[in-house]
């Protein structure tokens, strides 16, 4: 079976045989690969297709990809590689030394966030700590490979280049029939929320009860403004949240609420601006700076309730990343963006579920660091936020268009909150 974009045979001037293995039929991977080839102006010849007889039996397809120029062929191969299409030619990956600290060699391979392997001395080796848009560093003994950011590359590091000897393993559809089994990033304010929130609660409950993984929460200050603070603090206190990513603002407004009963000067109960309320977050930050740390403020009884108090009580790993607009900032806020990124990356091992709520900055930043295998939910009242996350490659993220407080309250109630 040979096709081109206009349906006619087109031998092309360049060609390469690629192989797809796994559950390529029920996950629609084969269809996506063939469609990509045609949409980019190439043609294909299905040389071999073996369909697994059962769901447990993998399928295999061998495809001859044709293109009018070597450059177009290279672009097509690059586009279909994230779907698991690997070049049939059995060759080890190529690598070159980094020319200087913080500089990658020309032609370095840029990763996706899907599980990946490189071929070293005839053996396929798993790439450790996979995430999108970084390079792959090979150890000098050629026995292991690990992702490395551009900034962390050191002169002489062996960096994988080109596409030979690299394969990407597409995710299989989970057997569980929950919202994550569809891997849909479609975003609509008209999508029903109830069944999605129930599925998220079920996943959180399983991780809580089994200890099989961690739940990461990344959120913004709108959680406090909108009234979701109590529900989130309850989930942290009950052990459902294990890692928190936030900025200076979420922590500051949470503790402002604890000290003054306001958020950005507005009373959380009355909803009106209180006299001199615009000073409250500054006075909160100043007081915590005077005490020395958020942990000490909690242990000495200055901060007794709320999100940050719950994190301290439950020993939740908190990474607070600063921005150029921060007041203070609070003690513990990491003002070096590269150091903050490294701290976030270091907190990810063991994370199985990520909740990204009411923060464009943290949603996109966290999504860029997560492997595709981590079930992800992005919640924002602005539909452009989950759309932006999906557009940047986090296709596994389920988008919910709703306000943070409604989401957190419904989620907490599914988990047993009586508020």
pLDDT in tens, 11-23: 447 999 999 988 8
Mean pLDDT of 258-287: 88
Give the pLDDT band (50/70/90) at residue 1: very low
The segment(s) of the chain belonging to CATH 3.40.50.10690 are 179-414
Q: How far apart are CA 339 and CA 293, in angstroms?
A: 19
Separation in Å, CA 238 to CA 231, 276, 315, 415 = 11, 35, 12, 9
126 CB contacts (<8 Å, ≥6 apart)?
Answer: 115, 116, 117, 145
Mean pLDDT of 106-122: 94
Write down the CATH superfamily of domain 179-414: putative lor/sdh protein like domains (3.40.50.10690)
The segment(s) of the chain belonging to CATH 3.30.70.2690 are 1-88
Tell me, what's the pLDDT at 160? 98
Q: Considering the domain 90-172, what is its CATH architecture?
A: Beta Barrel (2.40)
pLDDT in tens, 129-153: 999 999 999 999 999 999 999 999 9
- Could you tell me the pTM of the whole model? 0.88
By CB atoms closer than 10 A (0-12, 13-18, 19+), residue 100 is exposed
pLDDT of 191 above 60:
yes
Range with the poorest average pLDDT among 35-49, 250-264, 270-284, 314-328:
270-284
Give the pLDDT band (50/70/90) at residue 392: confident
Tell me, what's the pLDDT at 88? 87
**Topology (CATH) of 1-88:** Alpha-Beta Plaits (3.30.70)
Tell me, what's the pLDDT at 347? 98
pLDDT in tens, 151-185: 999 999 999 999 889 999 887 766 665 666 554 54
Range with the poorest average pLDDT among 23-27, 173-177, 310-314:
173-177
Tell me, what's the pLDDT at 396? 82
pLDDT of 128 above 90:
yes
The segment(s) of the chain belonging to CATH 2.40.420.10 are 90-172
> pLDDT exceeding 70 applies to what percent of the chain?
92
| Chain centre to alpha carbon of residue 199 | 19
Structural tokens at position 291: 């005490």
Tell me, what's the pLDDT at 186? 57
């Amino acid at each position: 079976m040979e096709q081109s974009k206009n349906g006619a045979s087109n031998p092309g001037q360049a060609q390469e045989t690629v192989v797809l293995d796994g559950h390529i039929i029920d996950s629609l991977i084969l269809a996506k690969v063939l469609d990509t080839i045609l949409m980019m102006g190439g043609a294909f010849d299905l040389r071999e297709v073996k369909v697994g007889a059962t769901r447990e039996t993998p399928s295999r397809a061998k495809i001859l990809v044709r293109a009018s120029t070597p450059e177009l062929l290279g672009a097509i191969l690059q586009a279909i590689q994230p779907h698991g299409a690997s070049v049939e030619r059995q060759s080890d990956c190529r690598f070159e030394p980094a020319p200087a600290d913080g500089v990658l060699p020309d032609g370095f391979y840029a990763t996706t966030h899907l599980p990946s392997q490189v071929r070293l001395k005839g053996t396929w080796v798993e790439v450790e700590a996979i995430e999108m848009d970084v390079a792959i560093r090979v150890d000098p003994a050629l026995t292991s490979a690990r992702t490395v950011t551009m900034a962390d590359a050191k002169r002489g590091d062996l960096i994988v280049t080109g596409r030979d000897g690299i394969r990407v393993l597409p995710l299989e559809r989970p057997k569980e029939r929950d919202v994550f089994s569809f891997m849909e990033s479609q975003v609509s304010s008209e999508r029903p929320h109830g069944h999605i929130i129930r599925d998220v609660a079920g996943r959180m409950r399983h991780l809580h009860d089994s200890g099989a993984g961690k739940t990461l929460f990344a959120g913004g200050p709108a959680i406090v403004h909108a009234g979701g603070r109590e529900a989130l603090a309850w989930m942290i206190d009950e052990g459902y949240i294990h890692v928190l990513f936030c900025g200076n603002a979420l922590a500051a407004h949470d503790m402002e609420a604890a000290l003054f009963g306001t958020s950005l000067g507005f009373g959380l109960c009355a909803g009106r601006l209180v006299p001199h309320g615009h000073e409250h977050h500054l006075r909160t930050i100043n007081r915590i700076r005077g005490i020395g740390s958020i942990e000490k403020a909690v242990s000495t009884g200055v901060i007794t309730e709320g999100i940050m108090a719950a994190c301290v009580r439950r020993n939740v790993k908190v990474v607070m990343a600063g921005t150029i607009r921060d007041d203070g900032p609070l003690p513990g806020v990491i003002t070096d963006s590269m150091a903050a990124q490294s701290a976030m990356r270091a907190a990810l091992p063991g994370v199985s579920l990520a909740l990204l709520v009411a923060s464009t900055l943290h949603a996109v930043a966290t999504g860029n660091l997560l492997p595709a295998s981590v079930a992800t939910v992005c919640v924002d009242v602005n539909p452009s936020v989950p759309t932006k996350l999906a557009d940047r490659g986090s296709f596994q993220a389920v988008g919910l268009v709703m306000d943070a407080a409604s989401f957190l309250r419904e989620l907490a109630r599914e988990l047993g909150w009586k508020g």
